[in-house]
Amino acid sequence: MEKNIAGSVSEQLELKVSASEAWKLFGGLEFAEIVRQALPDQISKIVVLEGDGGQGTILQVFYPPGGPATSKEKLTVVDNEKRVKVAELFEGGYLDFGFSTFRYRWEVIEKEGSENECVAKGTIEYVAKDENAAALVSGDALVAILNSAAKYLLTK
């Protein structure tokens, strides 16, 4: 009998902007474009199917040829007070590669003692059906997205 494997991968990056300024990006729909720009070889476009960027918003992610055609994810948490956003895949993408659960969690954390710095944290939480699927999870995409967001915020 196969055993499900639950796990998570996290990456974080210090940003040289206030937490409220960073959250304007991470908490909004503009963040989808940052993700696409950070991963041009992995994502060709992201379309909002439903919603305004708040909880319940549904996004469709389109991939280049060679992998899954698309995936759909729903923003299950958008907490502007705690600065936390969670997107959960509900169709396609990693779910077609042996995962029963796959979600992205983004947090912006105030840096104590500094009004103009914060920490952005990205986490992938998953339940894989076996070790082969679990081996597909990497923090590399999180690093690329965090770096892209940092660059965007500094040039804004």
CATH number at residue 34: 3.30.530.20
- Answer with the residue of higher pLDDT: 50 or 67: 50
Q: How confident is the model at residue 95 (pLDDT cuts 50, 70, 90)?
A: very high
Specify the number of domains making up the chain: 1
Q: How many whole angstroms separate alpha carbon 40 and alpha carbon 90?
A: 22
Whole-number pLDDT of residue 2? 60
- Token pair for 133: 């699927």
Looking at residues 105-125, what average pLDDT do you find?
96
Q: pLDDT by residue (tens digit) across 20-46?
A: 999 999 999 999 999 999 999 999 999
Looking at residues 49-69, what average pLDDT do you find?
93
Q: How many whole angstroms separate alpha carbon 65 and alpha carbon 67?
A: 6
Catalytic site positions: 85
Structural domain containing residue 112: 5-155
Instruction: Report the chain's mean pLDDT, rounded to a whole number.
Output: 95
Q: How many whole angstroms separate alpha carbon 16 and alpha carbon 116?
A: 6
Q: How many whole angstroms separate alpha carbon 29 and alpha carbon 44?
A: 16
Whole-number pLDDT of residue 144? 97
The DSSP code for 38 is: H
- Would you give the end-to-end CA distance of the chain in angstroms? 52
Q: Is the pLDDT of residue 117 over 70?
A: yes
Whole-number pLDDT of residue 50? 97
Contacts of 94 (CB under 8 A, 6+ apart): 71, 102, 126, 136
One DSSP character per residue, 70-108 reads: EEEEEEEEEETTTTEEEEEEEEEGGGGGTEEEEEEEEEE
Looking at residues 67-84, what average pLDDT do you find?
95
Q: Are 127 and 103 in contact (CB under 8 A)?
A: no
